[in-house]
Amino acid sequence: MGMYTGLKFEAKLKPIVADAMRLLYKEASSDGFWSDLSRIIPISDRWLMTGRKDFIPFGALSYMPSDWDETPTGIEEETWKVCCSLKNYEGEIRVFLSEVLPHLISEPCRAEVLYEEWEESKFDDIFPKEYKLE
C-alpha cells in the first residue's frame, strides 16, 4: 500500500506566479496542473518529469494529524496555502522544495514535512530564487 508524507506551508508568491496559479486553480484538477502552469511560467524539467507531481498541492490528507484537516489549501491574493499528502516514492517533496518552490515565492517561507510514522515534523526554510532562463 505505501506510506504517506505530508507537506504543509504558507508562502507569498511572486505576483506573476500568483496570477497564473489563480487562473489555473479556477479550473484546477490534480491532473496536469504543473504542465499547464509550465506553459505560463518556467518550471523545472525534472519536476515536470516526476510522476506524482500533481499531488502537490492536490493530494488528499492521509494519515496526517487531525489539525492538518483544518488547514485550507488555496490561493488568496498572493498567499498560497498548501496542506497535502502523497506517497513520496521518488523524493517528490525534496524536488519540489529545492527546484520548484524557491522560484515561485517572493519571500522566505517554512515548509513542514511529516512522514506518517515520524513522531515529529521536519521543517525546511525555503528562500526565493530567480529563474535562470537560457
Determine whether 121 is exposed, middle or buried from the number of CB atoms within 10 Å of its CB (0-12, 13-18, 19+).
Answer: middle
pLDDT at residue 134 in the model: 44
pLDDT at residue 106 in the model: 95
Task: Work out the pLDDT band at 123, boundaries 50, 70, 90.
Answer: very high
With residue 83 as reference, give the H or E element that holds it: strand 79-86
Task: Report the C-alpha gap between 79 and 26 in whole angstroms.
Answer: 16
- Domain residue limits, the chain: 5-126
pLDDT at residue 107 in the model: 96
pLDDT at residue 25 in the model: 78
Phi/psi at 130 (nearest 5 deg)?
-90, 150
Q: What is the DSSP letter of 13?
A: B
Task: Report the C-alpha gap between 103 and 108 in whole angstroms.
Answer: 11
Q: Is 49 helix (H, G, I), strand (E, B) or coil?
A: coil
List pLDDT tens digits, range 23-69. 887 665 557 889 999 998 999 999 999 988 989 998 888 888 888 87
pLDDT at residue 27 in the model: 67
